[in-house]
Amino acid sequence: MTANISSSLPCTESELWEKINHPASLQYVTSPVLKFVPENADLFKKKWAMNTPYKLRLYLFGFIPMGMHNITLKVIDRDKNLIRSQENGSLAKVWNHSIHFQENEDGRVHYTDSIEIKAGILTPVIWLFAHYFYRHRQKRWRQLLSRS
């Protein structure tokens, strides 16, 4: 199943690229619903890198263990404003995530998360969670970008 969630962000493309390139932004936009704890904390101190496996412990609401989650970025294309990752974890065997955005005439960015989810019998439940979670993420993106 695929979930597609879109919204408008109060920024330019270059302002979003500045924030989205840093793993610390992931921590901010997913909080407090999910918390990712990297096995190698040094990886989160740098910008995201393609084809680098990020092995993360996942916690619901910051304290309920949800197992491992792995992220490998496969595309970071500034010309197309596109980021694609191959992800998987303890609950979802496939959680492939694409981010695409484009600046509108009004100086805001139209932002879309697309998530391909395969989790066996849990797929419909996780798909529903993804809709909630990515709406939350996009709200947190708006908050983060409004502070800049």
In order of their start, the domains of the chain are 2-147 (3.30.530.20)
- For 98-144, how does the pLDDT look when each residue is reduced to its tens digit (9 = 90+)? 999 999 999 899 999 999 999 999 999 999 999 999 999 999 999 99
Mean pLDDT of 65-92: 97
Tokens standing for 111?
């932002």
Helix axes of 123-147 and 13-20: crossing angle, nearest 10 degrees: 110
> Which region, left, alpha or beta, applies to residue 77 given φ > 0 means left and ψ of -120 to 50 means alpha?
beta
- Compute the distance between CA of residue 14 and CA of residue 11 in angstroms, rounded to an integer: 8
Q: With 90 as the cut, is the pLDDT of residue 74 above it?
A: yes
Q: With 80 as the cut, is the pLDDT of residue 1 above it?
A: yes
* pLDDT for res 148: 62
- Compute the distance between CA of residue 129 and CA of residue 132 in angstroms, rounded to an integer: 5
Beta bridge partners of 95: 117
> Do residues 141 and 131 lie in contact, with contact meaning Cβ atoms separated by under 8 Å?
no
Mean pLDDT of 9-38: 95
- For 25-68, how does the pLDDT look when each residue is reduced to its tens digit (9 = 90+)? 999 999 999 999 999 888 888 899 999 999 999 999 999 999 99
Sign of the torsion angle spanned by Cα atoms 107, 100, 17, 128: positive
- pLDDT band, residue 7 (cuts 50/70/90): very high
- Compute the distance between CA of residue 138 and CA of residue 10 in angstroms, rounded to an integer: 11
* pLDDT for res 129: 97
User: Residue with structure tokens 């597609």?
Assistant: 4
Tokens standing for 57?
């412990």
Tokens standing for 5?
């969630």
DSSP tally for the chain: helices H, then strands E: 3, 7
